[in-house]
Chain A
Amino acid sequence: MKLLKNIALSDTGFVFNPGTGDSFSVNPIGLSILKDLQEGKSEEAIRNRVIEDYQTDKETIEKDLYDFLKMIEQFNLTDYHE
């Protein structure tokens, strides 16, 4: 899954989609995941990175990441044309 190319991310957790004018807010961990996606990291790589950085376990992040990615899709922030 990839983030739309023109999505703007600010370090304060503000997300802007210039294509639609929609804006969003994310928490710090959510922001780090969006950045990973921008860099083109795979889901598995993101998962491993989060486990490295945070006090969590594989089951928890698997479940929460799945949910987070679904939300990003629903908000039309992902690129379908790859």
Chain B
Amino acid sequence: MKKQIYERPLIHRINTGMMNKFGTKTEYAPVSHIDGLAVKDLIKEYGSPLFVLSEDTIRNTYREAVRAFKTRYPKIQFAWSYKTNYINAVCNIFHQEGSWAEVVSGFEYQKAINNGVPGPKIIFNGPDKSDDDLRRAITNNSPIHIDHLDELYRLTELAEEMNKRPNVAIRVNMDTGIYPMWDRFGFNYENGQAWDAINKIILGNRLELIGVHCHIGTFMLSPQAYATAAYKLSDLALGIKKKFGKTIHYIDMGGGFASKNTLKGSFLPGADTTPTIDQFAESITTALLNAGFTEKDLPLLVLETGRALIDEAGYLLGSVIANKRLSDGRRATIMDFGVNILFTSFWYDHKISPAQEFSSYTEDTVMYGPLCMNIDVVRSHITLPPLKKEDHVVVHTVGAYNMTQWMQFIAMRPAVVLIGTDGKSHLIRNKETIENIESSEVMPDFLKKHALASGILK
């Protein structure tokens, strides 16, 4: 008789009448391929763990977002938020689609320049811009979004010194009914700070005010908050027109639309609760269209959407290192990736699928990363089939913020591969090497030698 396929023996208690807090069946349906390529082949070729991005998904998500806004409002422009994922290949997909760049540091600014983005299409945000950064942005005619009064004064001095008239916008913060309120960036709307900055810019007559900007928060689940924000920015733009006869060219609504991830502690999966891009578009464009602009003065709507455009295009492939049983009887699975490269596991209960077929038996498991640290928990509860050493898993919706906020801690960072619309895999970031890391270290002469003897402990 032919022997049966082996699967670890499992037993679990049935809690009748209780809602299963460990998730739904779809969570552990196997995902063996991504865009037609087998997970096991990708891992064989590029190693494990491995980040994978889908070009198809990126382009489709972007086009869907453009459609949602374009069908409702005549003038729109996306600017790719570099911090969300600034691997150059990713940025260039967005630039090919027509997106500008949105950057928040000199480093990101240089990346956008290196990617060939023209100066006037690089929006320069953030509280930390050095004099050199500002000079370069002034020379390139980039829109500079002023965050605080110190920056406004310094920029005015530099404009005089360079005999230029920089294009600027102000970042505005405001109460949109969302708690916590992001009031540490920009000038407040309610207490008059925003008007104070506007008066200083226009009456100072050294800077050209072309826009107003806000970014009301990240992973926002409320389209209504955007309607409030769009209304308040419109009010400023209309007030400027009335008071100074000056037309504001654009209203920049920042980013923040939630992706389909599930926030830790929420009861329902994110895929069921996240508003659609159409709902956000409807709120924002309705507020702008009803604000009272004449057709000629209708501002360009700029969007700096980050996570909602890239999260779903990203996957992390990984492998099981070991299984163990914790002292309280729970099963634990140790993976070859942890919070070092999957930073977003601090925020989300990521959906994780096995990459191979299983029977329908499952087990409640704690999923740990490989770091020797207690904080290294990828999922504190997850229902999975019995995974064994070297089995593969697919972590979903990891395209945003992981490939920028990952840490080189204990282990080196993995390769990143793009599955192209051509159906082939393309390496877009090499696996880190010890040479990469040590090339920036310097050893002082007096530390070059030591006298530890070799030999075996006795």
A72 at the interface (CB under 8 A from B): yes
Kindly count the residue-residue contacts between A and B in the assembled complex, taking CB atoms under 8 Å apart.
63
> Are the CB atoms of B9 and A64 closer together than 8 Å?
yes
> Are the CB atoms of A54 and B11 closer together than 8 Å?
no
Closest B-chain residue to A57, C-beta based?
A: B6
> Which residues of chain A come closer than 8 Å to B386, judged between CB atoms?
27
Q: A23-B14, A23-B16, A25-B14 are in contact. Are A65 and B9 (CB under 8 A)?
A: yes
The distance from the CB of A75 to the nearest CB of chain B, in whole angstroms, is: 6
- A61 and B7 CA atoms in complex are apart in Å by 10
Q: A23-B16, A70-B325 are in contact. Are A55 and B11 (CB under 8 A)?
A: no
> Which residues of chain B come closer than 8 Å to A54, judged between CB atoms?
3-6
1-57 of chain B: CB within 8 A of chain A: 3-14, 16
- A15 and B3 CA atoms in complex are apart in Å by 25
- A54 and B329 CA atoms in complex are apart in Å by 26
B244 at the interface (CB under 8 A from A): no
Chain B, interface SS category = loop
Q: A23-B16, A67-B325 are in contact. Are A72 and B11 (CB under 8 A)?
A: yes
> Are the CB atoms of A25 and B12 closer together than 8 Å?
yes
> Which residues of chain A come closer than 8 Å to B3, judged between CB atoms?
52-55
> Are the CB atoms of B13 and A26 closer together than 8 Å?
no
Among B13, B325, B361, which residue has its beta carbon within 8 angstroms of that of A27?
Answer: B361
Closest B-chain residue to A67, C-beta based?
A: B325
> Which residues of chain A come closer than 8 Å to B13, judged between CB atoms?
22-24, 75
B439 at the interface (CB under 8 A from A): no
> Are the CB atoms of A29 and B12 closer together than 8 Å?
no
The distance from the CB of A34 to the nearest CB of chain B, in whole angstroms, is: 8
> Which residues of chain A come closer than 8 Å to B163, judged between CB atoms?
none
B359 at the interface (CB under 8 A from A): yes
- Chain B 335-347 against A: per-residue CB contact (8 Å), 1 yes, 0 no? 0000000000000
> Are the CB atoms of B325 and A60 closer together than 8 Å?
no
- A27 and B444 CA atoms in complex are apart in Å by 61
- A33 and B9 CA atoms in complex are apart in Å by 8
- A28 and B8 CA atoms in complex are apart in Å by 10
23-70 of chain A: CB within 8 A of chain B: 23-30, 33, 52-56, 60-61, 64-65, 67-68, 70
**What size tier do the contact residues of chain B reach?**
10 to 19
> Which residues of chain A come closer than 8 Å to B325, judged between CB atoms?
67, 70-71
> Are the CB atoms of A68 and B4 closer together than 8 Å?
no
> Are the CB atoms of B6 and A30 closer together than 8 Å?
no
> Which residues of chain B come closer than 8 Å to A64, judged between CB atoms?
8-9
> Which residues of chain A come closer than 8 Å to B4, judged between CB atoms?
53-55
> Are the CB atoms of A27 and B10 closer together than 8 Å?
yes
> Which residues of chain B come closer than 8 Å to A23, judged between CB atoms?
13-14, 16
> Which residues of chain A come closer than 8 Å to B11, judged between CB atoms?
15, 24-26, 30, 68, 71-72, 75
The distance from the CB of B69 to the nearest CB of chain A, in whole angstroms, is: 49
The distance from the CB of A73 to the nearest CB of chain B, in whole angstroms, is: 10
Closest A-chain residue to B8, C-beta based?
A: A64
Closest A-chain residue to B1, C-beta based?
A: A53
The distance from the CB of B1 to the nearest CB of chain A, in whole angstroms, is: 8
Q: A24-B14, A27-B361 are in contact. Are A55 and B9 (CB under 8 A)?
A: no
- A53 and B6 CA atoms in complex are apart in Å by 9
The distance from the CB of B321 to the nearest CB of chain A, in whole angstroms, is: 15
A74 at the interface (CB under 8 A from B): yes
Closest A-chain residue to B331, C-beta based?
A: A67
- A53 and B4 CA atoms in complex are apart in Å by 6
- A25 and B16 CA atoms in complex are apart in Å by 12
- A70 and B327 CA atoms in complex are apart in Å by 11
> Which residues of chain B come closer than 8 Å to A15, judged between CB atoms?
11
> Are the CB atoms of B329 and A74 closer together than 8 Å?
yes
Closest A-chain residue to B323, C-beta based?
A: A67
228-247 of chain B: CB within 8 A of chain A: none
A22-B13, A25-B11 given; name 13 further pairs at CB < 8 Å.
A24-B11, A25-B12, A25-B14, A26-B10, A27-B9, A29-B8, A29-B9, A30-B9, A55-B5, A55-B6, A71-B325, A71-B329, A75-B11
Q: Across the A-B interface, give the 8 residue pairs with the lowest CB-CB distance, nearest first.
A: A27-B361, A30-B9, A56-B6, A54-B6, A68-B9, A26-B11, A64-B8, A23-B14
Q: Which residues of B contact A (CB under 8 A)?
A: 3-14, 16, 325, 329, 359, 361, 386
7 contacts between A and B (CB under 8 A): A24-B11, A25-B361, A26-B361, A54-B5, A61-B6, A64-B8, A64-B9
